[in-house]
Amino acid sequence: MDCNVKAWLKGFALFAGVLFFLYWFLVGLALLGDGFKVIAGDSAGSLFGSVDNPIAGLMVGILATVLVQSSSTTTSIIVAAAGAGVLPVEQGIPMVMGANIGTSVTNTIVSMSFVGDREQYRRAFSGATVHDMFNYMNVIFWLPVELISSAINGGNGGVLFLMTEAMAQSFEECSGDNCEDWEGPLKTITAAISKKIISVDKDVIKDFAYGRPALSHCEDVLCDDAASTGVCDPYVFHQKRCAESELALEGWCGDSKKKAKASFDYCVYDNGVISVNQTVMEAARDHFNSYKLNKAGVFADAGLQREAGIITLVLSLVMLIISLLCMVKILGIAVRGAAEDVLKKALNMNGYLAIVVGCGVTMFVQSSSITTSVLTPLVAIDALSVEGMLPLTLGANIGTTLTGVLASLVSDSSTGFQLAMVHVMFNVLGVVMFYPLPVIRAIPIRAAKNLGNLAATFKAFPIFYIIMLFFVYPGVILGISIGIQMGTGAMAGCIVAIILFVVIHVLIAFWYNRRNGRAWLERRFGLSDDDFTKPEGEDTKADVEAPQLSKATVENEDDDSVDAQRESSDSSNEQPGANGVVAQV
């Protein structure tokens, strides 16, 4: 009985320990995202104004999501921009696809926490990147299909556009005071601590996506109905912050609440001519420029903005590493013997059931990054296989689309809802088309395992992978795609850049595969097992066999030594005689 009580108490203590460190891990993830948003949220929002072709849209979606560390935030901004009329659905579709790719950077960062153990590092990076590989495969198929089908349709939209356009015909906007974005219970729990440190005003990012007040807003959006009504609509800010200027049409601090949305009526329509009231527009710009991304918390109280983001980013990384190490250590103690078998059977469930579970969990926590980041340590400790990780991440892809749908319901425009449904259908159709076929779903799994092998050989490879795949390539391709449309000179420069880009990659691939490039890299930068810290008490098969082999070798050497001594003794007793006959001494 005493043994059972001790076992029960030990199990409860381990379970409580996992929950404790899991909570701090989730708080660290929340702070990581908020830190990135405060540091680069304005830049991410401004990226949306640079889109004028599908490739640029795809790259903007990747970069914006990496900068704000949340595909939910990115899709909410895209949906809001579409609902406001500044972003056509056709341009928003590639952005949504890019957001799907960018969201996987978080669990890739988490996988680097296992760098101390070679096998865990291999498995963790494989488990994290299987998400990337499937998303890239999905985009590689659906983006050309969308563009080609749109061209066949005379430029009036492709397959996803037409499908979701039919869905949007039944759209009904949400009205009343209860139409704010739903916040999942897990976010509410972690916010109890994270919001005390830093709190991001996501509406500021939406304003940056909408753009700084300018004449172009009057010409493109605000004066669309002026020919029939004789007046233009005001520029309305998303952020809930009253305006200091009395020129504000609504939301002046003198007669409004502190959290009122400000609006400025600076567009002028006169007999078919659109112009601006410069004084009012400058007042709107002053309000725009006085934004604060960090709206609450100890750092906001101290007057810190971008500095708060940097401090929070460092703090979050420390929290993630410590909580992960502690959580994995406790799981290593708890998951042994029969418990390990039970956990493996529970996690490595039927693939289609796993998709449903992944979707449900992500809808609950409102973040695919949280779902995949929590699963990555389980892959590292071999409780969950890479094959079992894939369907769970696919379900997370579908579950995270709920945020965009909820954001679209706040808008009074069906275009926002249509774009939110594009996100849903893109992920659902990708799963339906690719996952049921074993040959196809093996592609991202095999690619992820190869990446895991590279991480195990080259310790710094994940850093190189993140920088190149989520920053350098999207940035270079975005620059080229924008430059092509900037005139003949810029187009010629971009063509040269494309040729150089392709040639360099062909030469590197040729050197790596045909000229022993990999062997050279392994000699210079590769790692052996000794470069990794082995978990205490764990010996590899080689470690166990090595002493036995050494002992056998020594015994053989001893036998050979004895034989050699005998032969030497015999030969010393033999002397050749004068007549050439051997004489015995």
Q: Report pLDDT for 279.
A: 94
Q: Report pLDDT for 341.
A: 64
Residue corresponding to tokens 């909410």: 76
Q: Which DSSP letter does residue 172 get?
A: -
Nearest to 134 by CA among 463, 440, 471: 440
Q: What value, to the nearest 5°, has the Cα angle with vertex 201 and ends 27 and 174?
A: 105
Q: Which DSSP letter does residue 243 get?
A: B
Long-range contact set of residues 290-294: C-beta below 8 Å, sequence gap at least 24: 290/244, 291/42, 291/201, 291/204, 291/207, 291/239, 291/241, 292/201, 292/204, 292/241, 293/37, 293/38, 293/41, 293/42, 293/200, 293/201, 293/204, 293/205, 294/38, 294/198, 294/199, 294/200, 294/201
User: What are the φ and ψ backbone dihedral angles of 273, each rounded to 5 degrees?
Assistant: -105, 130
Pairing of strands 267-270, 273-276: antiparallel
Cα–Cα distance, 426 to 142 (Å, whole number): 8
Q: Does the predicted TM-score (pTM) go above 0.85?
A: no
Nearest to 423 by CA among 38, 73, 6: 73
Answer whether 243's CB lies under 8 Å from 287's CB: yes
Q: Which DSSP letter does residue 399 get?
A: H
In the chain, the N- to C-terminal Cα span, in Å, equals 83
Cα–Cα distance, 158 to 163 (Å, whole number): 8
- 3-state secondary structure at position 296: strand
Cα–Cα distance, 513 to 509 (Å, whole number): 6
Cα–Cα distance, 119 to 452 (Å, whole number): 9
Find the radius of gyration of the CA atoms of the chain. Answer: 31
Q: Which helix (H) or strand (E) holds 294?
A: strand 294-296
Q: Report pLDDT for 36.
A: 79
Q: Report pLDDT for 545.
A: 38
| Tens of pLDDT, residue by residue, the chain (585 residues) | 566 777 777 778 888 888 888 888 888 888 887 887 888 777 766 777 667 789 989 998 898 888 877 777 788 788 877 877 778 888 889 999 999 998 888 889 889 989 888 999 999 999 999 999 999 999 999 999 999 999 999 888 899 999 998 888 766 555 544 454 555 566 778 888 888 999 888 888 888 888 889 998 898 889 988 888 889 999 999 888 899 898 998 888 887 777 888 999 999 998 889 999 999 999 999 999 998 888 888 988 888 888 888 899 889 888 888 887 788 778 777 666 555 566 677 777 888 999 999 998 888 777 788 888 888 988 998 889 999 999 999 999 999 888 778 767 766 668 888 888 999 999 999 999 999 999 999 999 999 999 999 999 999 999 999 999 999 999 899 888 888 877 777 888 888 989 999 999 999 999 998 888 888 888 888 765 555 544 444 444 334 333 443 344 444 444 444 444 444 444 444 444 433 333 332
* DSSP-assigned beta bridge partners for residue 576: 582
Residue corresponding to tokens 């807003």: 217
Here the tokens at position 358 are: 């992944």
Q: Report pLDDT for 141.
A: 95
Q: Report pLDDT for 221.
A: 86
- 3-state secondary structure at position 564: helix
Q: Report pLDDT for 544.
A: 38
Length in residues, the chain: 585
Answer whether 107's CB lies under 8 Å from 128's CB: yes
